[in-house]
Structure 1
Amino acid sequence: MRSFAWQTSNVIKTLSRFMASRTKPNRSAGKHRLTRLFLAGVLSVSANTAFADAGFDKFVRGFWPKAQAVGISANTYNAVFTGMEPDNDTLRLMSKQSEFVKPIWDYLDSAVSDTRVEKGRELLQEYGPVLRQIEARYGVDREAVLAIWGMETNYGGFMGRHNVIQALATLAYAAPRRKSFWQRELLTALAIVQAGHVRFKDMEGSWAGAMGHTQFMPSSWKAYAADYNGDGRRDIWTSIPDALASTANYLKKHGWQTGKTWGYEVRLPAGFDYNLADGEKTKTLGAWSKAGVKRINGKGFPRPSDKGILVLPAGASGPAFLMLRNFYVIKRYNNATAYALAVGHLADRIIGGGPLAGDWSREHMPLNRTETAELQKLLNSRGFSVGTADGKVGPATRRGIRAYQRSRGMIPDGYASVVLLARLKVDS
């Protein structure tokens, strides 16, 4: 079977010869308009020979005008979409609704393993000159950049097995929500290939379109990717310096504070007011110290004027942390407390820090979504209003938990666990 691109090329040549014989010179503008219109038709007709999935075929035909409107050429479009079919793995993962919630301690055990720490230390030496230059250029501490690389792809060991454009096209075609988002990301990905920053076949990433060594979405690549070596390409797939510089630039643009840590593991005093640990109240480290909050290693805070928020990722039964500005900058990369804590902790370990000192009370397992909805219904039925039982732990649910805990003489940490759910079930 002739390729989609071959068919398109030959039909266009035939059309051009025909139009040359029928079109007067002073009507060249009209000729170009007709050519563009015909090209869109060719894309519609010829695509039928290239796709096994009729719905996907229709999507590709219908998407061409949007791509053309933002400057994507027919050559690029043909080269990318000829023979493409939906990514079955993306379809499977898109619709997967896992009820399993990985406890933060299990997440950290995996994310900050000894193997990953040792590899990070090796790469800190191997890429020392590059990292020093990136740190000087962007003002982002080198260990933080390394830690994100380690977290995202295990230092490039696994960048995803999906072609990014195929994955994004599948999502733009089949995702039940956010279609406009996926379409914008697809257009940006096409533009990246057309501009020559990466070959189409090398555009590796996740099933959801996150790309390269440090997993940028195309829109993030467009806004933050950096050309470290000055070759005119922002290559986060095959150039490690470009990928690391891009990550540093992302953190810088989101407010990274040079030379400052992400946070401190701390110890809380007896009788501590857990209402202060709502994940929102900001105090200077000096003020926290006066309230009896101390670093776990017994040392003082080096900059008492820095501001921090007290966070208890597993409630009063687990370690406590004072999170600084850089912690929330990391969360701009991935808005999960477990992720940002893992990045910060891995960064500390890479430059010689030790394991976390606090113990996790592992019987206090987090709730999955179904269990959370059950907890919310029970709280509502007992007069502790948390709003709609949607299975999501937000501020209203945490306030309801705290109110219930206070009413029963429990530590009001606002943490939703299987232990709390069991208590609610038997509590009349």
Structure 2
Amino acid sequence: MTFFQTKRFSLFPRFGAIAVAAALTLGSVAAPLANSADFVRSLWPAAQERGVSRAAFEAAFAGYSYLPKVMELTRKQPEFSQTVQQYIDRRVTNAQAAKGAGMRKEWNQTLTGAQQRYGVQPEIVLAIWGMETNYGSFMGGENTIHALATLTEGGYRTDFFRGELLTALRIISDGHVTPRNMVGSWAGAMGHTQFMPSSFMRYAVDYNGDGKKDIWNSVPDALGSTANYLKSFGWRPGETWGYEVKLPRGFDFARARQVEKATLGQWQQMGIQRVSGRAFPRGGDTARLYMPAGANGPVFLLLPNFDVIKRYNNSDSYALAVGHLADRILGGGAFATPWPAGDYALNKDQRAQVQSLLARAGYDVGTPDGVIGPKTRAAVMSFQARAGLVADGHVSGRLLDALKR
């Protein structure tokens, strides 16, 4: 999610914000109420019903005024395209891996204990921490209550952000954090690993046993909460996220796309092998084939834990970056297969252009809408085969260039 374009560590132009992805699609933005004090007063009955104390409510809104800069950020969510390579290269670096390895030593007792309690490997928790806030070096600079209140008062995704605001007030009322220390992104993502208030209420834990769930100031609480979150969504202890693999010559891409998911043993029967040459530990594990750059780049078989990582951020690019950073923290190297040179990602208009060019060439893609579905994928593969290209169905800048020739 690249919603949070604010001044922060330059390698990380986003905040994780569990559960925000579905909520932050661009929507209508209403003008604020004429009087912010009236808005705050209107919230009190609902806050009281949620169990928020009057003292906590007043402390949370002390000094509140509508924040135009927050609303401006809702209008400046840039539409830009990154290839998976660009996404990974910006976030998974030697420096990030080295810093993660250092944090692993520093927080070994906490991470080992969390693994025993929740079954999630330390390197995965560390990778999420690194992706979200650069290991706590920047957790956002906005007062969470004031930011969420501004979004609600301004009419931006009102139902969602009003619910998060009321939940955040309850967190303060319960004594987990003071209003002053409840800071995060402009959209309400908080703490070392960027929980939204609703996710905090469901999954945060008091790992250090001091009576508070403090994901802002307690690294043990933040790491334990992240491990608990992953466990709650079905993390499989002792298993990895996936494997980089190599495809055999003459690989049947059409069949592979029809299969979607199969056991590792079945993929192996189709000629797929790990790039390391080692056998798969459990041939019965179910996996899906992922070719983020087509057949000419790194290829992966993704396991169930990959989809658990996506519950943190529903993006294949994000989950691949987390998995790869975790492997690098353990001492692993770069992907064995290099990324193809000269490729670029397409925005929606460019994807629609691909479809229009395919339709003009006689392929059935339906109505060009920029959404790549089975019909478009089949047309792409037919075009690639006819043009003497690898018929992998991958849609990217290089395909668009080929269609324009």
Question: In proportion to residue count, which structure has more helix?
Answer: 1
Q: CA offsets per residue over residues 192-247 of structure 1, 9 Å max, x none?
A: 01111011111121121111001111111111111111222111110000000000
Q: Which residue of 2 aligns with 1:320?
A: 299
1:226-305 → structure 2 map (5 Å cutoff): 226-278=205-257, 281-305=260-284
Residue pair 1:225, 1:246 contacting (<8 A) in 2 also: yes
Residue pair 1:266, 1:293 contacting (<8 A) in 2 also: yes
Cα distance change of structure 1 residues 390 and 62 upon mapping to structure 2, 3 Å threshold = farther
1:357 to 2:347 alignment: no
Residue pair 1:310, 1:321 contacting (<8 A) in 2 also: yes
Cα distance change of structure 1 residues 378 and 87 upon mapping to structure 2, 3 Å threshold = farther
Cα distance change of structure 1 residues 116 and 383 upon mapping to structure 2, 3 Å threshold = same
1:306 to 2:275 alignment: no
Residue pair 1:149, 1:213 contacting (<8 A) in 2 also: yes
Cα distance change of structure 1 residues 125 and 383 upon mapping to structure 2, 3 Å threshold = same
* Structure 2 counterpart of 1:418, from 391, 397, 403: 397
TM-score by length of 2: 0.86
Identity between Structure 1 and Structure 2 (%): 51
Q: Which residue of 2 aligns with 1:106?
A: 86
Unaligned runs of 5+ in 2: 1-31
* Structure 1 counterpart of 2:120, from 140, 144, 148: 140
Secondary structure at 1:210 match in 2: coil
1:70-89 → structure 2 map (5 Å cutoff): 70-89=50-69
Counterparts of 2:368 and 2:61, CA distance in 1:
44
Q: Which residue of 1 aligns with 2:138?
A: 158
Counterparts of 1:381 and 1:344, CA distance in 2:
40
Counterparts of 2:375 and 2:66, CA distance in 1:
40
Q: Which residue of 2 aligns with 1:330?
A: 309
Larger radius of gyration, structure 1 or 2?
Answer: 1
1:121 to 2:107 alignment: no
Counterparts of 1:189 and 1:242, CA distance in 2:
17
> In the TM superposition, what is the alpha-carbon distance from 1:275 to its structure 2 partner?
2.2
Counterparts of 1:280 and 1:233, CA distance in 2:
47
Residue pair 2:148, 2:164 contacting (<8 A) in 1 also: yes
Cα distance change of structure 1 residues 367 and 231 upon mapping to structure 2, 3 Å threshold = same
> In the TM superposition, what is the alpha-carbon distance from 1:415 to its structure 2 partner?
2.2
Q: Which residue of 1 aligns with 2:202?
A: 223
1:369 to 2:348 alignment: yes
Secondary structure at 1:314 match in 2: strand
1:205 to 2:184 alignment: yes
Counterparts of 2:41 and 2:403, CA distance in 1:
55
Residue pair 1:278, 1:311 contacting (<8 A) in 2 also: no
Secondary structure at 1:265 match in 2: strand
Worse overlay, 317-326 or 160-169: 160-169
> In the TM superposition, what is the alpha-carbon distance from 1:282 to its structure 2 partner?
1.3
Counterparts of 1:95 and 1:78, CA distance in 2:
30
Residue pair 1:99, 1:370 contacting (<8 A) in 2 also: no
Cα distance change of structure 1 residues 125 and 284 upon mapping to structure 2, 3 Å threshold = same
Cα distance change of structure 1 residues 389 and 173 upon mapping to structure 2, 3 Å threshold = farther
Q: Which residue of 1 aligns with 2:166?
A: 187
TM-score by length of 1: 0.82
Residue type of the alignment partner of 1:70:
R
Counterparts of 2:401 and 2:36, CA distance in 1:
47
Aligned residues: 374
Cα distance change of structure 1 residues 191 and 402 upon mapping to structure 2, 3 Å threshold = farther
Residue type of the alignment partner of 1:217:
M
Residue pair 1:228, 1:242 contacting (<8 A) in 2 also: yes
Secondary structure at 1:157 match in 2: coil
Residue pair 1:277, 1:311 contacting (<8 A) in 2 also: no
Counterparts of 1:280 and 1:298, CA distance in 2:
24
1:174 to 2:134 alignment: no
Worse overlay, 163-172 or 153-162: 163-172
Q: Which residue of 2 aligns with 1:31?
A: none
Unaligned runs of 5+ in 1: 1-51
* Structure 2 counterpart of 1:68, from 44, 48, 73: 48
Residue type of the alignment partner of 2:198:
S
Q: Which residue of 2 aligns with 1:21?
A: none
CA RMSD of superposed structures (Å): 2.2
Secondary structure at 2:191 match in 1: coil
Counterparts of 1:57 and 1:280, CA distance in 2:
58
Cα distance change of structure 1 residues 293 and 55 upon mapping to structure 2, 3 Å threshold = farther
Secondary structure at 1:322 match in 2: strand
* Structure 2 counterpart of 1:130, from 97, 110, 133: 110
